[in-house]
Amino acid sequence: MQDALFYTFAFLTLMFGFLVIANPFSRNPVTSAMFLVLTIISLAGLFVLLHAFFLAAVQVLVYAGAVMVLFLFVIMLLDLKAEERRKIKTLGVVGGLISTGAILAIFLSSLLKAPLGATQSPVVEGGTVALAKLLFTQYLLPFEIVSLLLLVAIVGVVLLSKKDLK
Amino acid sequence: MIQAIIDWFGSPVGLSVLFSAVKILGVFSVLMFIVAYSVWVERKVSAAIQDRCGPNRVGIFGLLQPAADAIKSFLKEDFTPAHVRKTYYWLAPAIVMIPSLLTVAIIPFGSLIGNEKMIIADLNVGVLYTFGIVSLGVYGIVLAGYAARSKYPFIGGIRSSAQLISYEIAMGMSVIPLFLIAGGLDVQQLSAGWQSLLAGTSGLNLNRLVTWQAGNGWLICYAPISFVIFLAAMFAETNRMPFDMPECEQELAGGYNVEYSSMKFALFFMGEYASMTAAAALMTTLFLGGWSLPVAGLNQPATTIWIGLIHIGIFLAKVCFILFMVIWVRWMWPRFRYDQLMDLGWRRFIPLALANIVITAVVLWAKS
């Protein structure tokens, strides 16, 4: 049952992910965005299978519910008709293939090094309480530094949206 | 073959599947009943407020009006305008309905009947799940606006996405003080009935919140600012007056649903009332003590079937009260202007909600 669900969600994630970037039926940016939402929701399904309920809920809440709505908002406000008709450039395809290949190489090399097989699966503490304890004790400094990054982004947005700086 | 199926339903897995199916069916039918009759109540209340009669032709007091409306929407021509984007045009009404149906899955609508918890899915991430699902509700409206490929529905969809994003933040923050207050619940000190209700729960579980309220009084008394913010955000999230920007009839000729007719239009309508009901149920659980009532020993998990049924009745009564209030407000209050709405969300409610969290935390810290 668990395996069947894993393969279903994994397949859905990959399929929707593929449809985001290379949809044979439509080159509409809104369709791509909607497939990205579906990818995120299938990813949340994979998190649930890992017993990481908190991450699954936050994944849907933050990415599918907030970030993607803003994406959609921006896509709809811009006129992207030209985007639909645009030809695919050779340089872009080659660059994309090279970078994907590099990432794939890193994944494969670490996969080959990893001792796979019938080992004891680690106990996953995915509940909110366990996660909160780790975030506020062991990983407090990285957590705070990440929030600083968000602050930088906010200041950047304010700077960019002001037309003339005084 | 038949014997095997009966045996399977007798096994623990089969029993839990059976009970879950019964609960899902029950919750769904009650939800749909409330949706149908809140439309009737809406029309009656508006009629009373505006000194009219309201629906009174079908059945006594027009009580069969929802059935007549349903037949009408099914029999009307399902017209698809030529200029719409077909896929999204068909998908949008369905997407509007789904989130509200998913939200009610984690609401504890009663205590116990026998050994069965009266909740479809007892999740430990409870309230986070709700906000995750509620945040998906915007897609139906946005896509309906996009699918129409005409100006007014599009403006309705864009307004809606901005509005929902803004008020979700305030709504999420307004709930944090509740969990700060009720988080210190010590299950070990409670009676056996509570312990069986709360077995295996932690953190953000909604039943724990109800338990705390049954023991200490409703959270509306402890966190009134949270209640006000949540209430306003609820009106905004369900697109109800005074925040029904996406559909405002005068400016947008109806907004995102202009191009829709017959059953697809009715689905938008049902979606609005279903999300209202889901939000009212959530509010009952968070602020009004859920299924508990501080009289006649109804503050304990049920030991008999009758008390279990009374708990469900109490829960439904509270939900209906909130729905009535929401309907009443619609006919008493003029609509906000769009810039006022965004201003209220970002410059008033979000700072207020943040201050509320800090003050609650400081007070709790000072007390401990």
ipTM value:
0.82
What integer pLDDT is reported at residue A124 of this predicted model?
A: 56
Beta strands in chain B (DSSP E): 112-113, 116-117
- Rounded (10°) angle between helices B126-136 and B262-287: 150
Query: Which residues, other chains included, contact B366 with Cβ-Cβ below 8 Å and sequence gap of 6+?
Result: none
Q: What is the SS3 assignment for B200?
A: coil
**Across the interface, do A65 and B123 touch by the CB < 8 Å criterion?**
no
Model pLDDT for residues B128-149, shown as the tens digit of each residue: 888 888 888 888 888 888 888 8
- Rounded (10°) angle between helices B224-237 and B305-330: 70
Min Cα separation A90/chain B (Å): 31
Q: Percent of chain B scored above 70 by pLDDT?
A: 95
Alpha-carbon gap, residue B69 to B74, rounded angstroms: 9
Model pLDDT for residues A136-166, shown as the tens digit of each residue: 888 899 888 888 988 998 899 888 887 766 5
Alpha-carbon gap, residue A4 to B178, rounded angstroms: 39
How many CB atoms are closer than 10 A to CB B190? 17
Does residue B10 surpass a pLDDT of 80? no
Mean pLDDT value across residues B167-180: 88
- What residue ranges do the domains of chain B occupy? 75-367
How many CB atoms are closer than 10 A to CB B89? 20
Count contacts between A and B (CB, < 8 Å): 73
> What string of DSSP letters covers B49-102?
HTT---S-SSSGGGTTHHHHHHHHHHHS-----TTS-HHHHHHHHHHHHHHHHH
* Interface of chain B toward chain A, CB-CB under 8 angstroms: 88, 123-125, 128-129, 131-136, 138-139, 142-143, 146, 154, 157-158, 161-162, 164-165, 168, 202-204
Cis-peptide into B66, omega within 30 deg: no
Which residues in chain A have their CB less than 8 angstroms from residue B133's CB?
Answer: 60
Point out the least confidently predicted range of A116-130, B25-39, B270-284, B352-366: A116-130
Q: What are phi and psi of B280, to 5 degrees?
A: -65, -40
Out of A30, A37, A57, name the one closest to residue B132 (CB): A57
**Across the interface, do B203 and A72 touch by the CB < 8 Å criterion?**
no
Name the DSSP class of B247. G
Q: Which of B363, B188, B365, B177 is nearest to B286 (CA)?
A: B177
* Predicted TM-score (pTM) of this structure: 0.85
Distances (CA, A) of B231 to A47, B7, B139, B274: 32, 48, 22, 17
For chain B, report the end-to-end CA distance as a whole number of angstroms.
Answer: 62
Min Cα separation B86/chain A (Å): 12
Q: Which of B277, B280, B310, B281 is nearest to B293 (CA)?
A: B310
